[in-house]
Chains A and B, each alone.
Chain A
């Protein structure tokens, strides 16, 4: 075994027991605490509430149905456990012979229907809200490719964006560490803010403005991919030949991480999504810079062709 690999084994071993127990106790005692919207955390138990009005609705629905399940579980399991202790042969229980009870049966058919209606109501409202992409301020086209993401800015504030696009691939440090027998510990891969970003970091993140309704047009170039950033509150399949539209909004600046959710071949685990949300003014500035850059590139490309006609391909 190579030296760094041993170190990594020690590292994971050392972090294991005492810290693990503490962390577990912490996580369980603060189970209701909100998960970090930017990236997953160790021992995380629950869904992130996200940073979008939409993701907040989704989180509320998630918690509502969770509590409904807990409630039903308490009743059903409570009855079972009571029955298992009370009606044992070893305790001299005599078997009754009843086989139906109309009142109970009507109740446990009607009551679930009412509970379901109570859940379907908000779910329907959120779904309609979720599918309304109108009045978006920025449109970004997202294309999944084996195994990277391609982002194109289509329009912003009603104006077409001039040729700004990003190819986003797994960051090199993660890519080196992920190779079998690389000897690099996944725990050693960290962002400059100290976030463990192994397999959750890219070379060029998708830059988006905060407090802006963004329409995503999602598609794929080869096989089906899945665009999933939990902070936005949804995932959308990227399907070749189809455009899937969805909207998101990021109400807090930050670096939001997600992954391809749909199996897309051997490197499916290695095409993360990173969104860098910046204040609107900063985004505006960034976008102008990018537009100028691509204009410059166009100019210099044209200039090259004009200046060196001999370089043109010869019949």
Chain B
């Protein structure tokens, strides 16, 4: 063990890349390699979850049951949610963190490289496990990604496998979060004070604390499901003195901060990209940090707004309504700051900027419907309808996923050393930005007209908007093939070399190293010179 560590330590001072697939990838401890693996896994999961969404939209293309039986439809909606949240969005952000945080704070690697390897390599097995449940007798879990008892306890034997997979994902997330916190707090280059850090690093620091706080709560909730199902406990069984609502409380105590886990790092990406392409420093750096921290704090005291229709006492409903409404204040500050950053800038609209602008516009639409949902009496009409589906897809697809795409286009030249195709990037953007609205905007109408979520078939009054939505869905799904094509082109086929400072207006340590970033960077801490950092002379 000791010699192993010594050899590895020695390796780190050379710039040679480990030879052979097993050494390079299976035994990977390099933050860039692990970041790449996270991003590739996320992309694969994005397409698996996306394929499920395509089947769902195809079944909903017109009324009547055409393609899949209702139970299988429920398996698809459930797995689509779990795969997209835990398999696509979260690993993609961890991948961005792995690549960028050491580069941005001037660290040679993540603080705990071996744990980094473990936290990645757990994930493929977790997802193989959860996908394998589709082929088990009785089928996969079909109670929605929230897995409410008693319904979820009616699942076949796949329940135990799913719960184990969720435990694995949770362990992976906690280890990833510990690593990120340890890296940011310990490995910053001299002169990189906390309040000089890039906002992407700040948002991830706060996100990592959220993850450590909430993943054990989810693990506890699903473990109680496991013991209720297999060991005769009655946590959630009313007939045995248990309480069905207890599960909802525990789940959403995890679930609400979880939605901020998926959006705060996207806020960070957007806060990097808009100043770069506006050629102007971010407006209100400190308010951005404080707003992120307030959102994170508030996210712990709003969980019951997912449960307004369960019959909570009026006082509790009022408290959670006020707390929920309060979140729109720091969120609003962030949006206003982005707009103010663009104000009197000198803007160009390369693909990352296009995605960032679309993020601000479309995430804000999700924010508006979120405000509407926060008002309890109105929520009594919106809850569990397609209005909710529209709301969270606006914040997760045109929010979180667009944030990830923004980051990928922004940093891909740094990772690969080549420019992506700007023309195809723009085609990808316009097709995605238009189709995502054709896909999700009509779902607001469907929900308001009374269409519940998670149904495979519906009354003919809902037929027209569903058809529109499905067409948007197919176009959106197909457009993502352009994204993959562009990435493959950039990494393997593009000829033109990207400069170290890929974007004219980019500031920060990651732009001080060559493109592609060498296998080992900042083996000795960089000397930070005036003007090198985006927020080097913060007085605001």
Residues of A that sit less than 8 Å from B by CB:
8, 12, 20, 23-24, 35, 39-48, 57-58, 61-62, 65-66, 68-69, 72-73, 76-77, 79-80, 83-84, 87-90, 93-101, 104-105, 108-109, 112-113, 116, 119-120, 123-124, 126-128, 130-131, 177-180, 182, 185-187, 196-200, 218, 222-224, 226, 228, 230, 233-237, 239-242, 244-246, 257-270
The reply to whether B459 and A199 contact each other, CB–CB distance below 8 Å, is yes
Bound Cα distance from A139 to B417, whole angstroms: 71
Which B residues from 51 to 93 make CB contacts under 8 A with A?
62-66, 69-71, 74
Q: List the one stretch of B156-164, B171-179, B309-317, B430-438 in contact with chain A.
A: B309-317
Kindly identify which residue among A96, A178, A263 contacts B64, using a CB–CB cutoff of 8 Å: A178
Set of chain B residues within 8 Å of A44, measured between Cβ atoms: 445, 448-449, 461
The reply to whether A48 and B450 contact each other, CB–CB distance below 8 Å, is yes
A177 nearest CB across to chain B (Å): 7
The reply to whether A130 and B64 contact each other, CB–CB distance below 8 Å, is no
For residue B186, CB closer than 8 A to chain A, the reply is: no
With an 8 Å Cβ cutoff, the count of chain B residues facing the other chain is 95
Bound Cα distance from A28 to B210, whole angstroms: 43
Interchain Cβ contacts under 8 Å between A and B, 26 examples? A20-B464, A24-B464, A44-B449, A46-B445, A62-B378, A66-B372, A77-B364, A79-B339, A90-B348, A95-B344, A95-B505, A96-B344, A112-B329, A128-B314, A186-B63, A196-B460, A199-B458, A222-B150, A223-B150, A226-B309, A230-B381, A235-B309, A258-B450, A259-B450, A261-B383, A266-B70
A58-B310 contact, Cβ under 8 Å, with A42-B464, A99-B540, A263-B144: no
The reply to whether B321 and A99 contact each other, CB–CB distance below 8 Å, is no
Kindly identify which residue among A69, A79, A230 contacts B343, using a CB–CB cutoff of 8 Å: A79
The reply to whether A262 and B283 contact each other, CB–CB distance below 8 Å, is no
A119-B377 contact, Cβ under 8 Å, with A89-B348, A241-B239, A242-B238: no
Bound Cα distance from A237 to B452, whole angstroms: 13
Set of chain B residues within 8 Å of A61, measured between Cβ atoms: 375, 377-378
A-B contact sample (12 more), CB < 8 A, given A198-B460, A240-B150 = A20-B464, A76-B339, A95-B280, A95-B345, A101-B283, A116-B325, A116-B328, A178-B64, A236-B380, A237-B310, A263-B151, A270-B457
The reply to whether B372 and A178 contact each other, CB–CB distance below 8 Å, is no
Bound Cα distance from A43 to B299, whole angstroms: 36
For residue B451, CB closer than 8 A to chain A, the reply is: yes
Which B residues from 404 to 456 make CB contacts under 8 A with A?
445, 448-456
For residue B256, CB closer than 8 A to chain A, the reply is: no
The reply to whether A261 and B385 contact each other, CB–CB distance below 8 Å, is yes
The reply to whether A241 and B244 contact each other, CB–CB distance below 8 Å, is yes
The reply to whether B311 and A236 contact each other, CB–CB distance below 8 Å, is yes
The reply to whether B345 and A83 contact each other, CB–CB distance below 8 Å, is yes
Set of chain B residues within 8 Å of A84, measured between Cβ atoms: 342, 347, 349, 357
Which B residues from 442 to 489 make CB contacts under 8 A with A?
445, 448-465
For residue B142, CB closer than 8 A to chain A, the reply is: yes
Q: Which 3 residue pairs spanning A and B have beta carbons closest together?
A: A241-B238, A269-B455, A244-B311
Set of chain A residues within 8 Å of B381, measured between Cβ atoms: 47, 58, 62, 230, 233-235
The reply to whether A76 and B151 contact each other, CB–CB distance below 8 Å, is no
- With both beta carbons as reference points, the residue of chain B lying nearest to A59 in the complex is identified as B381
The reply to whether B340 and A73 contact each other, CB–CB distance below 8 Å, is no
Kindly identify which residue among A46, A77, A177, A241 contacts B361, using a CB–CB cutoff of 8 Å: A77
Bound Cα distance from A96 to B343, whole angstroms: 9
Bound Cα distance from A216 to B269, whole angstroms: 49
For residue B11, CB closer than 8 A to chain A, the reply is: no
For residue B143, CB closer than 8 A to chain A, the reply is: yes
For residue B36, CB closer than 8 A to chain A, the reply is: no
The reply to whether A261 and B332 contact each other, CB–CB distance below 8 Å, is no
Bound Cα distance from A196 to B63, whole angstroms: 12
Set of chain A residues within 8 Å of B339, measured between Cβ atoms: 76, 79-80, 83
The reply to whether B348 and A83 contact each other, CB–CB distance below 8 Å, is no
For residue B154, CB closer than 8 A to chain A, the reply is: yes
Bound Cα distance from A296 to B384, whole angstroms: 42
In this complex, the member of A20, A119, A222 whose beta carbon has the largest number of chain B beta carbons within 10 angstroms is A119
Set of chain A residues within 8 Å of B376, measured between Cβ atoms: 123, 127
A226-B452 contact, Cβ under 8 Å, with A43-B465, A84-B342, A261-B383: yes
- With both beta carbons as reference points, the residue of chain B lying nearest to A126 in the complex is identified as B377
A interface SS class: mixed
Bound Cα distance from A182 to B64, whole angstroms: 9
- With both beta carbons as reference points, the residue of chain A lying nearest to B330 in the complex is identified as A109
Bound Cα distance from A131 to B343, whole angstroms: 47
Mask, B332-371, CB within 8 Å of A = 1, is 1101100110111111110000000100110011001001
In this complex, the member of A46, A224, A260 whose beta carbon has the largest number of chain B beta carbons within 10 angstroms is A224
The reply to whether B380 and A130 contact each other, CB–CB distance below 8 Å, is yes
B interface SS class: helix
Kindly identify which residue among A80, A127, A261 contacts B314, using a CB–CB cutoff of 8 Å: A127
Set of chain B residues within 8 Å of A109, measured between Cβ atoms: 329, 333
Set of chain B residues within 8 Å of A99, measured between Cβ atoms: 281-285, 540
Set of chain B residues within 8 Å of A182, measured between Cβ atoms: 64-65
- With both beta carbons as reference points, the residue of chain A lying nearest to B291 in the complex is identified as A109
The reply to whether B278 and A108 contact each other, CB–CB distance below 8 Å, is no
A80-B144 contact, Cβ under 8 Å, with A72-B368, A240-B244: no
For residue B15, CB closer than 8 A to chain A, the reply is: no
The reply to whether A87 and B448 contact each other, CB–CB distance below 8 Å, is no
The reply to whether B342 and A108 contact each other, CB–CB distance below 8 Å, is no
A58-B458 contact, Cβ under 8 Å, with A42-B463, A99-B282, A239-B245: no
Kindly identify which residue among A89, A185, A224 contacts B347, using a CB–CB cutoff of 8 Å: A89
Set of chain B residues within 8 Å of A76, measured between Cβ atoms: 335-336, 339, 364
Kindly identify which residue among B281, B285, B317, B378 contacts A97, using a CB–CB cutoff of 8 Å: B281
A83-B343 contact, Cβ under 8 Å, with A62-B381, A261-B452: yes
The reply to whether A100 and B283 contact each other, CB–CB distance below 8 Å, is yes
For residue B148, CB closer than 8 A to chain A, the reply is: yes
In this complex, the member of A39, A89, A200 whose beta carbon has the largest number of chain B beta carbons within 10 angstroms is A89
For residue B27, CB closer than 8 A to chain A, the reply is: no
Set of chain A residues within 8 Å of B452, measured between Cβ atoms: 226, 228, 259-261, 268-269
The reply to whether B154 and A40 contact each other, CB–CB distance below 8 Å, is no
For residue B193, CB closer than 8 A to chain A, the reply is: no
B379 nearest CB across to chain A (Å): 9
The reply to whether B245 and A223 contact each other, CB–CB distance below 8 Å, is no
For residue B297, CB closer than 8 A to chain A, the reply is: no
For residue B279, CB closer than 8 A to chain A, the reply is: yes
Set of chain B residues within 8 Å of A97, measured between Cβ atoms: 280-281
A73-B243 contact, Cβ under 8 Å, with A65-B371, A79-B343, A261-B383: no
The reply to whether B458 and A269 contact each other, CB–CB distance below 8 Å, is yes
Set of chain B residues within 8 Å of A104, measured between Cβ atoms: 336, 340
The reply to whether A178 and B345 contact each other, CB–CB distance below 8 Å, is no
The reply to whether A40 and B69 contact each other, CB–CB distance below 8 Å, is no
A179 nearest CB across to chain B (Å): 7
B494 nearest CB across to chain A (Å): 24
A46 nearest CB across to chain B (Å): 6
A215 nearest CB across to chain B (Å): 13
The reply to whether A123 and B310 contact each other, CB–CB distance below 8 Å, is no
Bound Cα distance from A127 to B376, whole angstroms: 7
Set of chain A residues within 8 Å of B505, measured between Cβ atoms: 95
A112 nearest CB across to chain B (Å): 5
- With both beta carbons as reference points, the residue of chain B lying nearest to A225 in the complex is identified as B151
Bound Cα distance from A200 to B283, whole angstroms: 53
